[in-house]
Structures are given as C-alpha cells and as structure tokens.
C-alpha cells in the first residue's frame, strides 16, 4: 500500500466515528457508539434483504453476503447443497443494486474467487461506470439516503456522508482488486486502459502493482507499456 494511501486511510480512520478505538472514548461515548453500531447493523441487514432472499432461494443458506467468503461453505448443512459457481450469476445480478457500499463491497469480494472468472467483464464495466465523478456523487447520495432511512435517529447526515466517502473508496478498491485477481494475458490492454484513465484510483493501482507484475513474470511476458505505467505510479 502506498504511503499516500496509508496517510489517507489513517486520516479517515480518525474521522470515522465507527472506527475510533474504545479506549479513546468515555463510558457514555462507548455506550452511545454501541447503540449506533447496532442501529447500523440492523440497517445493513434490512438493506441486504433482496440479495440474501435470492441466495437462499438458490439454496445458499446464508445470513449475509460476507458469509460466502468468511466461512467454510456455511450453506452446506443438511442434505444436498449448491456449489459455489452457482452463486456467481446471482451476485452479478445484484452488483449495482440499491445497496450500501458495505453490501456491494461484500458482493465484489465474494466474486473474487477462482470460479468467479466469468465476472471479469462485468467488474470492468462497473469500475468504468463508477469512475465518472457525476456517477460517484450520485452513488454516494443514494447510499447516504439508504442508510439514513435506518439510522437517521442516531446519526447526522454529515456523519453518514463522511462514512460513505470512506466506504466508497473501499468499494472502488475492491473492484480494482477483483479485476487484477481475475485478469489474464488477453486482458493486459484492459488493465493498461484502466490505469491510464484512472484519476481517483491511482493509489489503488499503485497498491496492486506488485500483483500485476507477479502475473506478468509468471506468464514470462514483458509488456513495456504496462510496466512503464506501473513505474509511473511511483511518482507523486
């Protein structure tokens, strides 16, 4: 991770009221934060409802999308169960749905699996779409409205906007990471185009540069244009 990204993450961490360490808070502040945390969790569960309903209908007995990658096949309980490749089309259907960024990031992370290779083109489309400033602003307003509907009695809109800016950055990085995870030799021109046209994600690509180089070495491929772009990311 680049130095600028670390500094930015630290700054956002200090500003995000959901992340401040408990030892920095008084008892009353800790109790208030716990009430906020529970309200936020309830809002996310409600927001995640449609994708969870579709997953369960397909036989995936999960409570959250993150169960797909944080547990060992949690849907396998009694009797026959679906295999992981069956989850990919469901997740792709919900990728740009009306969800908070935490839910959408979980969808992307669940797609970052060897069987999710078919998701590459769709992930690229989403990354390109969300790179537009007008789209980014609209997506963040929508996410704030969604969350405020469930936590507006405990959070100010300014607090939620601040948190959503951080979550948006995290979602965009998850997209870039998934794209790098899945890209093959024939996708090198796509990676070149994404890096070259990136304005807000330069630090993300810098953080992923070593993984891209590792793939090129494994393929014994020297692509001067891509390697030059990766080197250029080092400069401020």
Q: SS3 of 197, please?
A: coil
Q: At CA 72, angle to CA 70 and CA 73, rounded to 5?
A: 110
Question: CA-CA distances (angstroms) from residue 6 to 12, 102, 111, 175?
Answer: 10, 20, 25, 19
**Which one-letter DSSP state was computed for residue 153?**
T
Query: Tokens for 48?
Result: 């995640």
| Domain segments of the chain as ranges | 3-182, 184-236
**What is the value of pTM for the model shown?**
0.84
Residue indicated by tokens 């994708």: 51
pLDDT tens sequence across 185-198:
999 999 999 999 98
49-81 residue pLDDT tens: 999 999 999 888 889 999 998 876 655 555 555
pLDDT tens profile 98-115: 999 999 999 999 999 998
The mean pLDDT value for 77-94 works out to: 80
């Amino acid at each position: 991770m680049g130095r600028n990204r670390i500094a930015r993450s630290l700054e956002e961490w200090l500003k995000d009221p959901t992340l401040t360490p408990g030892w920095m808070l008084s008892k009353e502040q800790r109790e208030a934060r716990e009430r906020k945390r529970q309200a936020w969790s309830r809002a996310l569960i409600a927001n995640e409802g449609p994708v969870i309903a579709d997953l369960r209908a397909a036989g995936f007995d999960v409570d959250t999308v993150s169960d797909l990658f944080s547990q060992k096949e949690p849907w396998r309980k009694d009797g026959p169960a679906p295999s992981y490749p069956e989850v990919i089309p469901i997740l792709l259907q919900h990728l740009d749905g009306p969800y908070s960024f935490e839910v959408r990031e979980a969808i992307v992370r669940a797609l970052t699996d060897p069987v999710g290779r078919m998701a590459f083109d769709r992930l690229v489309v989403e990354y390109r779409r969300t790179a537009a400033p007008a789209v980014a602003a609209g997506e963040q307003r929508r996410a704030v409205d969604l969350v405020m509907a469930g936590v507006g009695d405990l959070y100010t809109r300014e607090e939620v906007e601040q948190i959503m800016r951080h979550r948006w950055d995290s979602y965009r990085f998850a997209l870039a990471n998934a794209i790098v995870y899945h890209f093959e030799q024939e996708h090198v021109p796509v990676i070149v185009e994404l890096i070259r046209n990136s304005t807000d994600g330069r630090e993300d690509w810098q953080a992923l540069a070593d993984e891209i180089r590792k793939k090129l070495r494994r393929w014994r491929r020297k692509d001067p244009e891509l390697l030059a772009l990766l080197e250029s990311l080092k400069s401020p």
